Copies of this chain bind each other. A is one copy, B any other.
């Protein structure tokens, strides 16, 4: 059983997708399965993070922005792939540091997420993008 989810992003940051994924998993009504989530892009990521305090998401995005600043930052003057904009190559680097695919066991139609775990699309580009996440349940 498979599907795909579309997420319209409005700039860099984390976008929670837990509810829509949980609804789809529940609808498949499998007793026991493994869910694979896969994002079909190279400048955004998937991540599982605390979903209680929004400050966690803000700090996460801030950390990665500091670790991999935009190409316009003097510390990034060594970049060679720059013609797609200052947020493009840093986006690819963040996409290497964060997951493209996530696997989550499911039991009785529910993901085995911990109490504080939420699933996020982590957008690394500044402009709006239409992102696609493929889900496979087996």
**Which residues of A line the B interface, CB within 8 A?**
1-2, 32-34, 36, 38, 40-42, 47-50, 53, 55-56, 58-60, 62-64, 66-68, 78-81, 89, 92-93, 95-105, 107, 112-114, 116-117, 132, 134-136, 138
Residues of B within 8 A of A101 (CB): 48, 102-104
For A116, the chain B residues whose CB sits under 8 A away are 41-42
Do A132 and B114 contact each other (CB < 8 Å), given the known contacts A50-B92, A92-B50? Answer: yes
Determine chain A's interface SS by DSSP, over half rule.
mixed
Question: Given that A105-B134, A134-B112, A135-B105 are known contacts, is A117 also in contact with B59, CB under 8 Å in the complex?
Answer: no
Q: When the two chains form their complex, are residues B105 and A2 in contact, meaning their CB atoms are under 8 A apart?
A: yes
Query: How far is A121 from B117 in the complex, measured between Cα atoms in Å?
Result: 17
CA A50 to CA B42, docked complex, whole Å: 6
